[in-house]
Amino acid sequence: MRAALARALDRALEGRRLDREDGYALIRAGEAELPAVLEAARTLRDRGKGRVVTFSKKIFLPLTNLCRDYCGYCTFRRDPGEPGAHTMPVEEVLALCQAGARVGCKEALFSLGDKPEALFPDYRAWLRRQGLRTTLEYLRAVAARVVEATPLLPHLNPGLMSARDLAALKEVSVSMGLMLESASARPLAPGGPPDRAPDKVPARRLRTLEEAGRLRIPFTTGILIGIGETPEERVDALLAIREVHARWGHIQEVIVQNFRAKPTIPMREHPEPGLDDLQRTIATARLLLGPAMNLQAPPNLSPASYPALLGAGLNDWGGVSPLTIDHINPEAPWPALVALARATARAGGVLRERLAIYPEFIGRDGFLATPLRAKVAGYVDAEGLVRPELAQWREAGLDGAADPELAPVGAPPRSQKEGEGGDS
Ligand code: SF4
């Protein structure tokens, strides 16, 4: 093993903060070195998170798929008039939220295109007829209705946000997110000219992360790998996230998302990152970000690889929906929760449902708007995770009820439940 890598692993296991050179040594790990990197990442994950691996039961609400950007890897965006172009009216959002609540969802994930009003006059006129100027104002109005009229908790993922936008949206959500994607402007909008994706300028995205920290907003971010960045640029992006988190302590989750080629995108011929590359990057993220960070990789983008992802040090599977597709990756179905639970159990872990706000942030001063506190408190146990009796992921059809290895932490033993005459 190279001396630089051995040094990085030693320092990580001693609980020391890794520097950029350590990160580069980790991300350059060769085939023979990778098992040691993965083992160190698992050790750190277990130190910080124990056996618990989490997910959030959600519905996915693509509030509008109009977008002013043209990213070469995107299959989500539409221009007005294009087949599939759609902006959801509030009634449609509320009906979907109510349907989601009936099957046990707690998170209303709003994911949408970035600032379509800047590019499309007809859409701008539509907003004006609602008495609004921006898509983010519309998002705020709709999320407020979700909070008032449904049991769901909004998580907002609407692209770049100013400090004023963030402050307004904090009042109607439990958390927000913006993928940093990359800290380098070089792979900007791969497959298209850079000026076609003004919202993907890394400095602007980092500014949103910074403002979210200043405003004490539980925030999800992450990197997108395989879009033309170098391995070292992945490390730079992870360190940029670590820096902003060190200043404000607000990053609740970091996602390592792998690019997937799709036949309809400009980057359809672009190679996808291999599983070893994804594992190496997840493990590097764990070792750079430390045992306390929540680390996720989307399971529906690596459907046959749950053990490999767990073996690289993640502790969260992200949002999973029993009702709505992944509109960003519509070809990739969500995993069955029981499959995630079994894979987690085989790796020595226990699957638990969390809310869109991570437990660490629920009781922290100033991180949750007052009107949302009672609703959040009604869902969680002393650990800040969804109370087992409300965690309906083992309902009929998910087939996990008969499997004792899947009993949630804190749940009564199976024999006791049978005596009570039912399962949750
Ligand atoms: S990835 Fe996001 S910002 Fe880029 S085109 Fe798609 S919706 Fe727009």
Q: Which atom of ligand 1 is nearest to the CA of 200?
A: 3
CA 260 to centroid of ligand 1, rounded, Å: 15
Cα separation of 162 and 215, whole Å? Answer: 11
Separation in Å, CA 403 to CA 320, 351, 396: 21, 13, 13
Catalogue all structural domains in the chain, each as residue range(s) with its CATH number: 3-420 (3.20.20.70)
Tell me, what's the pLDDT at 420?
30
Q: Which pTM value belongs to this model? A: 0.91
Separation in Å, CA 190 to CA 195, 227, 267: 11, 7, 7
CA 347 to centroid of ligand 1, rounded, Å: 35
**Residues in the ligand 1 pocket, defined by CB under 6 Å:** 67, 69-71, 74, 76-77, 113-114, 159, 197, 199
Tell me, what's the pLDDT at 191?
56
Name the stretches of the chain with pLDDT < 50.
Answer: 193-194, 395-424
Residue 222, phi-psi category: left (phi > 0), alpha (psi -120 to 50), beta (remainder): left
Amino acid letter, residue 99 = A
Pick from 74, 180, 199 the residue to mutate for probing ligand 1's pocket: most ligand atoms within 8 Å of its CB.
74
Cα separation of 50 and 294, whole Å? Answer: 12
Question: pLDDT tens, 205-263?
Answer: 999 999 999 999 999 999 999 988 999 999 999 999 999 999 999 999 999 999 998 88
Tokens at 117, concatenated = 């009003």
- Cβ atoms within 10 A of the Cβ of 92, count? 14
Cα separation of 234 and 422, whole Å? Answer: 48
CA 112 to centroid of ligand 1, rounded, Å: 8
CA 187 to centroid of ligand 1, rounded, Å: 14
Contacts 24+ apart (CB under 8 A), 363-372: 364/216, 365/216, 366/216, 367/216, 367/217, 367/218, 367/250, 368/174, 368/218, 369/170, 369/171, 369/172, 369/173, 371/147, 371/171, 372/147, 372/153, 372/173, 372/174
